[in-house]
């Protein structure tokens, strides 16, 4: 039987929400192995001068636990 663990992460990007998600996975993979999925829980953006400045996500990343 496989067991997964879930961590919650926050990430942001200047480009878009997809880039923020990629950033979350890339940074998590520096310390966590066997990432299996990412669930985007919330999305928000900061606005400056009438334009989106930062795209932010709150995500849950699941990964396989090893014995």
User: pLDDT tens-digit profile of 15-42?
Assistant: 999 999 999 999 999 999 999 999 999 9
Rounded to a whole number of angstroms, the distance between the first and last alpha carbons of the chain is 11
Where are the domains positioned within the chain? Answer: 3-65
Whether the per-residue pLDDT at 50 is higher than 70: the answer is: yes
The predicted pLDDT at position 1 comes to 75
Separation CA 66–CA 15 (nearest Å): 35
Topology given in CATH for the domain delimited by 3-65:
Dodecin subunit-like (3.30.1660)
| Number of neighbouring beta carbons within 10 Å of residue 51 | 7
Separation CA 16–CA 57 (nearest Å): 10
């Amino acid at each position: 039987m496989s067991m997964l663990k879930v961590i919650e992460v926050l990430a942001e990007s200047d480009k878009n929400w997809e880039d923020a998600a990629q950033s979350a996975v890339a940074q998590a993979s520096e310390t966590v192995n066997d990432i299996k999925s990412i669930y985007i829980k919330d999305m928000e953006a900061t606005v400056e001068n009438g334009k989106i400045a930062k795209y932010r996500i709150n995500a849950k990343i699941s990964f396989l636990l090893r014995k």
